[in-house]
Structure 1
């Protein structure tokens, strides 16, 4: 899967799709459909029979994957011979657009309803495959790519400063907003219809994420978690696609290896570090073929050269970790499974907690929940800051407050998305909608390879939002499930902490920080190069100092630095030099490089 782009309106249909933005590496199949007042272009890896026609000649396109349907009983999509769009058409025939309410998917679905003369766009519960749109004088432009929307000549690229400052401070723009005044994001869990004759747009929300904890024992949640894992793998038992697993030295992806059969396990690294050796041992115990994806030395520069043109202002270019291996992965497996969001949803990632800075010793996160009783409390949790190269920077708190509305019933709206309370905004805001995630890893995967992220299944999300805070913070359902499914895999120590997943809290908590302290300050393995690490990721700050490509990026974009009204050119160079002299401006500089290499940003200066 790669992307969808479309236009609505008579004159708009004559526009050409921005193919370069929709295609990741040029090997995609691109299909364009023109019907009535709508044009839709879809690019994908491999031939896909989209659109699928219904008996009434309505047309359906799907971007992502539909897993099943939650009605009176659960319907498993993989039990039949369906593609995603043929299954969406099957659901549409039975339920009309109300199929969205029961759809278990990580996908957006586009339905051209010819009889009603409208286009309907359905987003899944979390908005895992965002859709962006802009209204023009003659219709609407929509796409899974912000930059593809902006490529249309009728779309004004004027900057929304609040959205831009949010991206510069937090590496994402929350809710339905973007850094551009004319471009918005369709909300998650919604059915949006566009009248093809008038261009009128109407959005109905069919689902909201709410926290509904159950007062049940920890063993109840472990049992339910294990049951769900076994169920989602059993549902794919008849799926004849070749599955591979992206394996780390932690416990989330290891748990998937314990629950299902993967003939191949891939690990991304620079060298056979402690994490790589741990992943190799795990793969051996699970009888999976271990394959090391060993990065080239110029991996970061290669990402910078390719990735920014595909990004949607969430995350940084250097988080497209599998870039350069995508063609190999598509050749060797049909679906790549990942354990992404397992830690976010089940290992304390949702709950606002304290980070205690212990100076040179490091930092500690006590398993204690933070109180969120006021807007100030929430802003403290965000803990962001604008980089030093902003021209006339605003007060960040004022920017955030301007987009947060408190209501008499205690609910809040933040950047156009409603939450039941400030607390639930703090709880779910980083991942609801999923485009709020400030890490590009998942979104890069959706561009590069057909992938499966089990923990985004509706049923896992429902389980996570029903777990009491005490279990999120002080217990570990993932490790408990791993011990239940594979005691052998649970005895292999975590590569980073050195603690076995089978350990129990609070012993696990104490051992984890003791081990981290010992490895950081007393003894640790030496890496072949200064920027290699014992884990899966490079030290990006050291990469910048050692490889020295930063100044070339700034000089290559010198005219753009001068032209963009929100950047201070001299301050950008000064920030880079300060980093090279030992200060840490890694995040700010990588965000700046991402922006400078985006075609959409270059278009701002040109217009």
Structure 2
């Protein structure tokens, strides 16, 4: 089976009055409606009230598409495309998360758009209109993602969340139909946790309101997926992937057993990226590191009868405060589990670029940029952050809100989103956190509720106290354990180890005990990845960008392969993603 594709094209000059929809190998729900006046194409699972509906959307189509006031009422994960045949006006609307990404381009004669950037890239290449934006590629290397509407070329754009793009008379315009509200609640965390528990249960009911026959759940050993699992009244079957039946799998199995969820371990190859490296890159359009596509076509072992899979995406950055600016306090020179919020300071752009959690770390990217291009690249990166900040100026109340908006202006651009895209190559996937009421609660929370996952831990305890007491694979400690208890346990293990105790318990889990291979060592352990890294030394694709110092790369890559580190492993991962995307036909 080939790569998934969903694209639409429209050429008013052809006078056919019709959208051309091309779709294949995709699990995204698609519905089409048409009469003499209008066409509607619905992707995803839109919700009105408490139910997934398609007819309810079609009934609201007017000669100007779907009214903004109506779009504000629609919940769930969706992409709407409407065509008014009289005015020959095409409109495309995203949900509040841009959960179904949409890339598009247009000129005087035609419009082309796709859910997958690779299709747009190939469309422009065939028309000889492909002009690479090297600043966007540098941004990916720095941030592990792209911001705003930019793509890897200068002729296409990404459609932001809660936005309608209109193509009429050869011109494309965009307009937001909804804005976030960051008005903070004064309710105590015990109340907001209770509210979140109820909203997660409600989201589960909404997102299963079309009564799928068989439901599955990707269950890790962490907190997020078990929280979603706990929100189900009737637990679905659950699956955990791993290169071995390790600590992650054992913890997930214990979690599943606690709620009587039929659980299955899905073994993956010791070289999980070898067979599908290019495909993992292409489904993310080269804008997401290839290792986040680990679920690609991972159907072996998962029952074919599964209709919809769920997962824990979104719980971490919304309710565990994963990207809040904070630091762990130290005691006697040792890092403790106590977290303290840090102020953003006067220079938002610098703070964001240097301290956001998903940026390239532990290696100096600028050392691999040609000297006379360095200032230009950094200046463009600053402008990119400033552009997103300007988008949020009308509703962000302070710099903390702006910090969150950098993430939520398009959640399908968040760096690990190809976890979801690759899950979607197995069966349809749905995200419980992508619910308007859940999202509104998240934006209303003060930092004190989210730092160190305070509200997430309380919510899990409300949903299922037994699951809150099971250790996580992240720390080997229960999520409901206090910071002082965590540090006490670490101290005891350190003392035992220093005394030569036979206790083999790990203070912190190793990469071998988790699902994802270590980014540094995977290049020494996986022959195909090692070859891909070696090829970078003479990569014509990377060299053609005009800003990478190829001599320094050629010198340092062999060193990185002999002595892998997290920083060098991450840079190799990003560079291979770019290299393979640029040169794959």
TM-score relative to the length of structure 1: 0.82
Kept in 1, the 8 Å contact 2:137–2:152? The answer is: yes
Equivalent position to 1:199, from 163, 167, 170: 170
Q: Could you say if the C-alpha distance between residues 580 and 237 of structure 1 is closer, same or farther in structure 2, counting changes exceeding 3 Å? A: same
Equivalent position to 2:556, from 575, 584, 590: 575
Aligned to 1:109: 80
TM-score relative to the length of structure 2: 0.85
Aligned to 1:271: 244
Aligned to 1:315: 288
Q: Could you say if the C-alpha distance between residues 398 and 508 of structure 1 is closer, same or farther in structure 2, counting changes exceeding 3 Å? A: farther
Over the aligned positions, Cα root-mean-square deviation in angstroms equals 3.6
Aligned to 1:499: 477
SS in 1 for 2:21: strand
Note the alpha carbon deviations across 1:549-584, whole angstroms, 9 max, x for none: 345224397444454434444333333212112142
Equivalent position to 2:352, from 375, 378, 384: 378
Residue 2 (structure 1) shift: 4.5
Is it true that 1:597 corresponds to 2:577 in the alignment? Answer: no
Distance 2:504 2:352 in 1: 37
SS in 2 for 1:52: strand
Equivalent position to 1:222, from 189, 193, 208: 193
Distance 1:438 1:121 in 2: 24
SS in 1 for 2:554: helix
Kept in 1, the 8 Å contact 2:75–2:436? The answer is: yes
Kept in 2, the 8 Å contact 1:388–1:572? The answer is: no
Aligned to 2:23: 42
Answer with 544-553 or 323-332: which moved more.
323-332
Equivalent position to 1:433, from 392, 407, 410: 410
Aligned to 2:381: 400
Distance 1:563 1:341 in 2: 36
Aligned to 2:61: 92
Structure 1: 5+ residue runs without aligned partners?
14-33, 70-74
Aligned to 1:485: 463
Answer with 274-283 or 573-582: which moved more.
573-582
Aligned to 2:8: 6
Distance 2:574 2:196 in 1: 37
Answer with 238-247 or 412-421: which moved more.
412-421
Equivalent position to 2:515, from 533, 536, 541: 536
Distance 2:549 2:325 in 1: 34
Aligned to 1:449: 427
Residue 56 (structure 1) shift: 5.0
Q: Could you say if the C-alpha distance between residues 488 and 47 of structure 1 is closer, same or farther in structure 2, counting changes exceeding 3 Å? A: closer
Note the alpha carbon deviations across 1:212-256, whole angstroms, 9 max, x for none: 211111121012112112222334366143111111112221122
Is it true that 1:59 corresponds to 2:39 in the alignment? Answer: yes
Distance 1:150 1:583 in 2: 33
Note the alpha carbon deviations across 1:29-55, whole angstroms, 9 max, x for none: xxxxx94264222235469664222x5
Answer with 232-241 or 129-138: which moved more.
232-241
Q: Could you say if the C-alpha distance between residues 129 and 389 of structure 1 is closer, same or farther in structure 2, counting changes exceeding 3 Å? A: same
Aligned to 2:445: 467
Q: Could you say if the C-alpha distance between residues 356 and 220 of structure 1 is closer, same or farther in structure 2, counting changes exceeding 3 Å? A: closer
How many residues align? The count is 559
Note the alpha carbon deviations across 1:177-214, whole angstroms, 9 max, x for none: 1221111111211122111xx22222221112342211
Residue 435 (structure 1) shift: 3.4
Aligned to 1:179: 152
Distance 1:477 1:564 in 2: 45
Distance 2:332 2:562 in 1: 21
Kept in 2, the 8 Å contact 1:412–1:422? The answer is: no
Q: Could you say if the C-alpha distance between residues 107 and 278 of structure 1 is closer, same or farther in structure 2, counting changes exceeding 3 Å? A: same
Structure 2: 5+ residue runs without aligned partners?
none
Note the alpha carbon deviations across 1:474-520, whole angstroms, 9 max, x for none: 562222122222222222122332322333x4446645876897899
SS in 1 for 2:309: strand
Aligned to 2:535: 555
Is it true that 1:565 corresponds to 2:546 in the alignment? Answer: yes
Answer with 460-469 or 206-215: which moved more.
206-215
SS in 2 for 1:92: coil
Distance 1:416 1:446 in 2: 35
Residue 467 (structure 1) shift: 1.0
Equivalent position to 1:413, from 386, 390, 397: 390
Distance 1:139 1:64 in 2: 25
Note the alpha carbon deviations across 1:278-320, whole angstroms, 9 max, x for none: 1111111111111011111221212314212222343211111
Answer with 433-442 or 356-365: which moved more.
356-365
Distance 1:210 1:344 in 2: 17
Distance 2:37 2:120 in 1: 27
Within a 5 Å distance, the mapping from 1:160-179 to structure 2 comes to 160-179=133-152
Equivalent position to 1:140, from 97, 102, 111: 111
Answer with 443-452 or 85-94: which moved more.
85-94
Distance 2:496 2:122 in 1: 49
Distance 1:496 1:514 in 2: 18
Distance 1:40 1:601 in 2: 27
Residue 146 (structure 1) shift: 1.9
Distance 1:381 1:453 in 2: 28
SS in 1 for 2:513: coil
Answer with 451-460 or 511-520: which moved more.
511-520
Equivalent position to 1:369, from 337, 342, 347: 342
